[in-house]
Amino acid sequence: MSDDRTKVNASEEVRFRLLIDAVVDYAIYMIDPDGIITSWNAGAKRFKGYEEAEIIGQHFSRFYTDTDRQAGLPQRALDTALNEGRFEGEGWRVRKDGTHFWSSVVIDPIRDPSGKLLGYAKITRDLTDRKMAEETLKQSEQQFRLLVQSVTDYAIYMLTPGGQVSNWNPGAQRIKGYLPEEIIGQHFSLFYTPEDRQANEPQRTLDIAVREGRFENKGWRLRKDGTRFLAHVVVDPIWGDTGTLLGFAKITRDITEVARAQQTLEKTREALFQAQKMQAIGQLSGGIAHDFNNLLTVILGNLEIVRKRIPDDPRLVRLLDNATQGALRGVSLTQRMLAFARRQELKAEPVEIPALVQGITGLLRSSLGPSVRIETQFVPEPEAVMADLNQLELAVLNLATNARDAMPNGGKLVMATRTEVVLDQPHSTMAPGRYVCLSITDTGEGMDDTTLASAMDPFFTTKGVGKGTGLGLSMVHGFIEQMGGRFLLKSEKGLGTTAELWLPVAHAGPVAGALGPKLAAPQVPRLNVLVVDDDSLVMTSTCLLLEDLGHRVSFAESGARALQILEGEQLFDLVITDMAMPQMNGAQLAQAIRILKPTLPIILATGFAERLEGFAAGLPRLSKPFTQMNLIEVIAAALK
């Protein structure tokens, strides 16, 4: 019986041994009470590297690092197992080749039935891969934490599922103004404006993030100090492995300056577009005005000739006068178009504004009517300004008429002057210097912002169809700018309008006031004149006016033909040439004539205010449209 029991025990021991040796993922071995290794399985051999013959009889402390051995960790592990019935722990261990691995260790004491300590059972598992994964994750989390903490341009923080702030980065502190201890635990709706909170915008944000997987929007948010900033907001829900909502990740960026820069860019683009549009309209208006000037030159010239040659019949005279008045209205319209296009020929001279207004007071009172009261508030010692007297008079009359139309039930018109000094500033449109500001203020209906923004656009009018050309204010604007000044309109709906004409102060010199009586026409001898113009109608009209004055006239339709005629045997006393001609313009022709005939007088006829250089700049100018009297005066000036 005893032999059978012995055989059974031996068989079980063999099976247990085979079982232990079959385990390769765990090191399972025995150590005696002193820590000496007494058994060794295949798993221990696999990841510790020792053969059974090499390690049995050795102390198990050799698997510990030098630091752990010096700290007494091997003996402490055995003592813990003995006193507490088990030791469990993790730590770095050493293989035979000296490499380290992270292991999970379990040590159990082994006692006989009487309680005597026989040794220890030690199970070790290699957890290096798990440890490295944990370290990698830890390092990644630390790097992410450092990354978030280093971001100062974005507010990056977490919210609980209920919307409470759970962490806070420096960017959030910089943008929103709260310290972490001030805001963590508070509801994120604190950042929303009162109107957004009332509209339940914070909860709607979280609901959309949960429902759609993300919320992204722009809106106004509040800082700690109560100021507002425009924010770009992104909210992402954070889900657990089981699908549980853990909270929200919220990223906020302050885009206030970006939005302002974009608005500035849009305004700049709009200003550029407006400038390009005005330039295009100005070029179109100038071209149309030039053609009108040619037509009006023909009409006025022929009317003068007809007036001289018809019988003295009052009915015919009245018809001619009406036709002449119609043509002169066309001249006024053309002048407005040229003023807007800044191509009008202007005569800049010192002008005293009080004297100018005094000279047209009668015309002003008759134009405005008895329901409009005129007041003047001029400085006691006015400084003269540089301006074209005729155009400044026309501008004042134009603005006064607009003011009258804005006061249908009557009112008050105040004209005032003041002197201002403009300094050299980077964004100023005016040159530095002294300016006189003439303001014309009415008590009329005023304009809203939309109307005011378009008031100086060409052809814009609020007077209805047939009641205005829409060129009045644009003409004033073009004239003042051409004089080196600035035209400003200030108005509010129901509070009237103020027009300001800023003109540069004139240097010392003779001062003009209102226009005086015209002098008698100078006497001019009969001349042999060459007329050069590519427009046959204008050329014919000019020739007729000259012939009517008793001059002998030849003509050429181009600059090249004029030079051929001048190289011939015929002698000329004067050349009158159009400025705007194809291939060779009037200035180029004048330069060629000066080389060919150095003493021959030349007159340039033009409807533009071209800026000429060199020799042509000093030539007499005949402004289109012109009358026979204008011809007489400019010829007299050219022959001096």
Identity of the residue numbered 127: L
Residue 467: pLDDT band (50, 70, 90) is very low
Tokens standing for residue 29? 């071995």
Please give the C-alpha separations between residue 78 and each of 57, 90, 293, 356, in angstroms, as whole numbers.
Answer: 17, 14, 118, 117
pLDDT score recorded for residue 515: 43
Residue showing tokens 């919320």: 215
User: What CATH superfamily classification does 349-504 receive?
Assistant: Histidine kinase-like ATPase, C-terminal domain (3.30.565.10)
Whether the predicted pLDDT of 590 surpasses 80: yes
Greater pLDDT, 1 or 348: 348
Mean pLDDT of the 152-180 span: 88
Q: Which residues of 387-410 are buried (b: 16+ CB within 10 A; e: fewer)?
A: bbbebbbbbbbbbbebbbebbeee
Mean pLDDT of the 546-574 span: 91
pLDDT score recorded for residue 112: 87
| Tens digits of residue pLDDT in 22-48 | 666 788 889 999 999 998 988 888 888
Model-level pTM?
0.40
Whether the predicted pLDDT of 506 surpasses 70: yes
Query: Is CATH 3.30.450.20 the right assignment for the domain spanning 2-127?
Result: yes
Lowest-confidence segment of 393-397, 542-546, 556-560 by average pLDDT: 393-397
Which strands sit side by side in the sheet containing 552-556, from one edge to the other? 552-556, 528-532, 574-578, 602-606, 621-623
The CATH number for 528-638, chosen from 3.40.718.10, 3.40.50.2300, 3.30.565.10, 3.30.470.20, is: 3.40.50.2300
**Residue 437 three-state SS:** strand
| Tens digits of residue pLDDT in 508-553 | 545 544 444 444 556 678 899 999 998 888 888 889 889 888 899 9
- Which residue, among 165, 195, 191, has the nearest Cα to 180 in the 3D structure? 165
Do 252 and 204 meet the contact criterion of CB atoms below 8 Å apart?
no
Lowest-confidence segment of 376-390, 474-488, 577-591 by average pLDDT: 474-488
pLDDT score recorded for residue 318: 75
Q: What is the mean pLDDT of the chain?
A: 81
**Residue 461 three-state SS:** coil
Greater pLDDT, 444 or 19: 444
| Tens digits of residue pLDDT in 284-329 | 555 566 666 677 777 877 777 777 777 777 777 777 777 777 667 6
Same topology between domain 2-127 and domain 151-254: yes
Tokens standing for residue 82? 């003995």
Residue showing tokens 């006189």: 436
**Residue 71 three-state SS:** coil
Whether the predicted pLDDT of 222 surpasses 90: yes
Residue 163: pLDDT band (50, 70, 90) is very high
Instruction: Give Cβ neighbours of residue 223 (< 8 Å, ≥ 6 apart).
Output: 175, 176, 177, 229
pLDDT score recorded for residue 637: 87
pLDDT score recorded for residue 289: 60
Whether the predicted pLDDT of 270 surpasses 90: no
CATH architecture for residues 151-254: 2-Layer Sandwich (3.30)
State the Cα–Cα distance between residues 186 and 172, nearest whole angstrom: 14
pLDDT score recorded for residue 437: 92
**Residue 262 three-state SS:** helix
Mean pLDDT of the 148-163 span: 79
Highest mean pLDDT among 167-171, 207-211, 358-362, 376-380: 207-211
pLDDT score recorded for residue 137: 56
Please give the C-alpha separations between residue 141 and each of 137, 154, 166, 626, in angstroms, as whole numbers.
Answer: 6, 19, 17, 89
Instruction: Give Cβ neighbours of residue 150 (< 8 Å, ≥ 6 apart).
Output: 170
State the Cα–Cα distance between residues 603 and 635, nearest whole angstrom: 8
pLDDT score recorded for residue 516: 43
| Tens digits of residue pLDDT in 485-496 | 888 889 888 889
Whether the predicted pLDDT of 3 surpasses 70: no
State the Cα–Cα distance between residues 387 and 348, nearest whole angstrom: 5
Do 591 and 617 meet the contact criterion of CB atoms below 8 Å apart?
no
Residue 577: pLDDT band (50, 70, 90) is very high
pLDDT score recorded for residue 470: 45
CA 245 and chain centroid, separation: 43
What does the domain layout of the chain look like in residue ranges?
A: 2-127, 151-254, 265-335, 349-504, 528-638
Q: Name the maximum alpha-carbon separation found in the chain.
A: 172
Instruction: Give Cβ neighbours of residue 166 (< 8 Å, ≥ 6 apart).
Output: 157, 158, 159, 160, 184, 247
Lowest-confidence segment of 263-267, 336-340, 436-440 by average pLDDT: 336-340
Lowest-confidence segment of 238-247, 491-500, 602-611 by average pLDDT: 602-611
Whether the predicted pLDDT of 363 surpasses 60: yes
